[in-house]
A = this chain, B = another copy of it.
Amino acid sequence: MPRTRGRAPTGGRADALSREIIVDAAIALLDELGERGLTFRLLAKQLNTGPGALYWHVTNKDELVALAADQVLGDALAAAPHSEEGAGTALRALAIAVFDALDRHPWAASHVDAPATLANALRLLDRIGTLVERTGLPAERHFEVATAISYYITGVSAQIIAPCTTVGASTSRDAFLAQTAERWEELDPADYPFLTRTTADLRSHNDRDQFTTGLDLLLDGLNTIADPRPPA
């Protein structure tokens, strides 16, 4: 990793490259064009260089996208209020901050792997774990519960957000939902009894509420275990 920070610290040309400049530009392109639209040639042109120059700062495209996704996640962690009253409330706020960040950068959703490569994914898991320890859960369950929550946050966010990426940045979410709702209506009620009965909910549903519904279900389950059956 080159030690460049900010712009041209030691006095090189004003537009000298650096890892963060490249990653920032990559994020902008990813937001606009999606993962397939990000090209080393295009990125190089934006930065007034040749493709080869980028490889001095970044190993390959995989690493570049990983760095970009990591930064998105890092921004989310920074935005999430760090200490809060109850552990449950804090977990909820943290989860929503991550969801919102991924919602703004849909391409990143499929790249935040829970207990793995991204530095900020580790930070996320650690913060979740620290909060779980505060719930009064028996210590031997801390790990499994913390990872379950972490998996839920990143995994379900990705599921909810990914469809937009697939269609390309072109189609809006509303259009996409309307379109799927139409497909649901054409289904045979004999084969899809539930879905055909439920089209209205699909149309009116909200992604963010969707996310929090499951999250609350999960946290409710956690409470059931933490302090089993408090008096009514």
Measuring CB to CB, which residues of chain A are less than 8 angstroms from any residue of chain B?
A: 110, 113-117, 122-123, 125-130, 133, 142-149, 151-152, 154-160, 162-163, 166, 180, 184, 187, 191-195, 198, 201-202, 205, 209-210, 213-214, 216-225, 229, 232
Let me know if B166 and A159 touch, CB within 8 A: no
Interface residue SS majority, chain A: helix
Given the complex, which residues of B lie within 8 Å of A142, measured CB to CB? Answer: 194, 198, 201
Cα-based distance from A184 to B122 in the complex (angstroms): 9
Q: Which of B144, B155, B187 contacts A201 (CB 8 A)?
A: B144
Given the complex, which residues of B lie within 8 Å of A180, measured CB to CB? Answer: 115-116
Cα-based distance from A83 to B132 in the complex (angstroms): 36
Given contacts A117-B163, A143-B205, A148-B217, 4 further A-B contacts (CB under 8 A): A115-B202, A146-B194, A217-B225, A221-B224
Cα-based distance from A127 to B193 in the complex (angstroms): 9
Cα-based distance from A115 to B199 in the complex (angstroms): 11
Cα-based distance from A187 to B123 in the complex (angstroms): 11
Let me know if A213 and B148 touch, CB within 8 A: yes
Given the complex, which residues of B lie within 8 Å of A144, measured CB to CB? Answer: 201, 205, 209-210, 213
Given the complex, which residues of B lie within 8 Å of A195, measured CB to CB? Answer: 122, 125-126, 129
Cα-based distance from A126 to B127 in the complex (angstroms): 36
Let me know if B214 and A143 touch, CB within 8 A: no
Given the complex, which residues of B lie within 8 Å of A220, measured CB to CB? Answer: 220-221, 224-225
Nearest Cβ distance between residue A50 and chain B, in whole angstroms? 25
Given the complex, which residues of B lie within 8 Å of A158, measured CB to CB? Answer: 155, 158-159
Cα-based distance from A113 to B162 in the complex (angstroms): 7
Given the complex, which residues of B lie within 8 Å of A159, measured CB to CB? Answer: 113-114, 151, 154-155, 158
Cα-based distance from A95 to B149 in the complex (angstroms): 17
Given A152-B156, A193-B126, A198-B142: A163 and B213 interface contact (C-beta under 8 Å): no
Let me know if A192 and B126 touch, CB within 8 A: yes
Let me know if A194 and B229 touch, CB within 8 A: no
A230 and chain B: residue at smallest CB distance: B229
Q: Which of A146, A147, A223 has the most CB of B within 10 A?
A: A147
Let me know if B156 and A122 touch, CB within 8 A: no
Q: Which of B114, B213, B222 contacts A145 (CB 8 A)?
A: B213
